[in-house]
Amino acid sequence: KKRILSGMRPTGPLHLGNLHGALNQWVALQDEYECFYFVADWHALTSNYEDPVGLDEFTLEMAADWLSAGLSPEKSTLFVQSHVKEHAELFLILSMITPLSWLERNPTYKDQMAQLVGKDVSTFGFLGYPVLQAADIIMYLADAVPVGEDQIPHVEITREIARRFNHLYGPVFREPQVLLTKATARILGIDRRKMSKSYDNAIYLGDPPETIAERTSRMITDPQRARKSDPGDPGVCNVFEFHKLYTDPEKVKEIDAGCRSAALGCVECKKNLAVSLAEGLAPIREKRAHYMERPDQVKQILADGTQKARAVARQTMEAVRAGVRL
Ligand code: TYM
């Protein structure tokens, strides 16, 4: 069986970008592959080190989101990064062989430096973010990594690091592939920038219908459509993108036609979307409430998964230490 690995930073509840960019894919892969999914709490610390309060709470909330969306502890290994200390050891060893230039030219590093206002991320740990991510991935000899588009550069660096290790010390690691769901690899938020917690433009899996309606009503539609009487272009409208995901296909056709002929205004179109979204997310919202009331059960699932992950990590580290003669 091929191995799949992916992770998410516990920086808050999950949003639709996380769901459509990654989580739905994680769920779908569970039946066919051997899957490892983990909470990247050390990665969250790279940008939240000044205020780490809540990381453990966020970890449980994230795991509750995962279970609600359909990840199953019977099928997949669900674990917490900081509980598998081997990740830190491998990160250290990989840091010896990773040229600074690979990290300095990492596009997500430059973007985030500009984006994370009010946070001082001019740290060694933040520059080394992709090295830790490489350790996460190759530790489990993963064949493929299901992620959204923004993570492609990190998986590229991972491949380079794996190759360099193998070249220097012998063939220990595999070079992982990126697995993208093309149509939803980059979900836009209500302001049309990438949906992200830090932009405050997200809709969250646990949002109640009122919140969904309020946020949806503020979504930017086709920017060229100034008046209701103007015909719109669903092809460039973010609201329409979500209709394709949440509204039944017959209705989507009507919305497409109504928008193009100006028979359907954006306000009404967004109201329809709010209803579809609230309905579509209802099962997740209910399960989420169930798990949030049972933190001990969620903790136990993560503890069991961590045991399994550690067993694999220990084995990999034996080969790594032999390679570097330690
Ligand atoms: P993170 O926590 O930022 O995001 C988790 C996953 O959600 C995807 N995603 C999106 N996809 C589409 N549209 C969006 N607007 C959107 N926002 C987020 C991300 O692409 C990601 O798949 N560095 C990683 C965490 C990590 C990791 C790893 C991932 C640490 N180690 C090893 C894979 C393998 C991150 O910050 O993801």
| One-character DSSP codes across 21-54 | IIIHHHHHHTTTSEEEEEE-HHHHHHHHTT--TT
- Count CA atoms closer than 13 A to 298's CA, side-chain side: 25
- The encoded tokens of residue 89 equal 């050891």
40 within ligand 1 shell (Cβ under 6 A): yes
Q: Is 78's C-beta closer than 6 angstroms to any atom of ligand 1? A: no
Q: Which CATH number fits domain 206-288: 3.40.50.300, 1.10.240.10, 3.40.50.970, 1.10.3470.10?
A: 1.10.240.10
- The segment(s) of the chain belonging to CATH 3.40.50.620 are 3-187+294-323
Cβ pair 304, 72 in contact under 8 A: no
* Residue 155 beta carbon below 6 angstroms from any ligand 1 atom: no
Instruction: Report the share of the chain in percent with pLDDT over 70.
Output: 99
ipTM exceeds 0.85? yes
| Residue-wise pLDDT tens digits, 144-180 | 999 999 999 999 999 999 999 999 999 999 999 999 9
* pLDDT for the residue 51: 79
How confident is the model over 76-89, as pLDDT tens digits? 999 999 999 999 99
Q: Is the CB of 136 under 6 A from ligand 1?
A: yes
Distance from the CA of 151 to the center of ligand 1, in angstroms? 6
Kindly give the number of the ligand 1 atom that is closest to the alpha carbon of 44: 36
3-state secondary structure of 177: strand
**Residue at token pair 């209500």:** 190
Query: Given this model, what pLDDT does residue 111 score?
Result: 83
pLDDT of residue 117 exceeding 80, the answer is no
Which residue's alpha carbon is at the smallest distance from atom 1 of ligand 1? Answer: 8
3-187+294-323 CATH fold: Rossmann fold (3.40.50)
Please give the Cα distance from 23 to 13 (Å, whole number). 13
- CATH 1.10.240.10 region(s) of the chain? 206-288
User: Nearest C-alpha to atom 11 of ligand 1 is from which residue?
Assistant: 21
pLDDT of residue 53: 65
**Under 8 Å CB-to-CB from 305, ≥6 apart: which residues?**
73, 76, 77, 78, 79
